[in-house]
Amino acid sequence: MKLLNLRLPNLHFGPGKITSYEITKRQKIVLMSLFLTIILITAQTVGESLRYETIAFLTLSTILLSIFALWGELSGVKYFLLLLLPTYFVAGASLFYFLLPVRWLTRVPFAFFFGISVYLLMLTSNIYNVAAIRTIALLRAAHAVGLLFTLISGFLLVNVLLSFHLPFYLNVIGITLICGPLYLVGVWATELEDYVSQRAFLYAAVFTIVTAEGGLVFSFWPIVPINGALAIATVMYALLGLSQLHLEDKLKTRVLWEHVAVALLVFVIITISTRWGG
């Protein structure tokens, strides 16, 4: 008669007690998403005097939890670049969260979107983390998700920045600090080297200058913050989208005109919706 050997995966038993329990990366990412979402929802009950402290806590927690979730393959520039997009997204989403109407009907769906987004972002960062070592099939999907959340992060942060109605030079500095690192991550993710290449740095620098100049122009327009943020996000979409296709040798004339058409359409909508007087 054979005895059945019952074995629990990932559990290691010592003399009479469990000595350790290993969790997978996916479980780490799920726990990270849940924790940050709970903190974001809890922030609705925090007074205005503690809002910025709460946002700082969320941002710092994102950095530490991202390192915890991605630990293993992190090395070199990945310690910096792979943490940028989740950190920027959490900072932008939490700042934008406080601009929403103070009611649960609005903020709870946003918090749900926030949690799902953090989960997808961390999966994308993990794919970049692994793909920098070996090629994996999900890399193309990760590039699409990464581009999407780069645009969302830029939109949220620029919208908050323009909501303060700062002088034009502070807008230019703010947009440079927001878009520059996002461009660098976007271009680097296409190459996925162990270092930031001279080409990636040059592309990011040129794109940042162009975007900052756009921010300078919009600073003198009677434009509402959300339209200004949409304009900046559109510039980012055109520049990053075309550069990624160019680096992958997939840029075609038809695709180029499609990006230009989208940018022109958004520009026309923003121009028409702007109140130029009165």
Give residue-wise pLDDT tens across range 211-265: 999 999 888 888 889 999 999 999 999 999 999 888 888 888 888 898 889 989 9
Residue type, 9: P
Structural domain containing residue 152: 137-278
**How much is the pLDDT for 85?**
92
Model's pTM, two decimal places? Answer: 0.86
**How much is the pLDDT for 12?**
47
Which tokens is 30 given?
């799920």
Who has greater pLDDT, 115 or 71? 115
Work out the pLDDT band at 17, boundaries 50, 70, 90: very low
Same domain, yes or no, for 246 and 258? yes
Same domain, yes or no, for 146 and 275? yes
Provide the domain count of the chain: 2
Who has greater pLDDT, 200 or 192? 200
Same domain, yes or no, for 121 and 57? yes
Same domain, yes or no, for 170 and 278? yes
| 36 pLDDT above the threshold of 90 | yes
* CA torsion, ordered 9, 12, 13, 14, to nearest 10 deg: 180
Q: What is the pLDDT of residues 92-141, one digit of tens each?
A: 998 888 877 777 778 888 889 999 999 999 999 888 888 755 666 678 88
Which tokens is 15 given?
């003399």
**How much is the pLDDT for 3?**
40
> For 16, left (φ over 0), alpha (ψ -120 to 50), or beta?
left
Nearest to 56 by CA among 101, 96, 94: 94
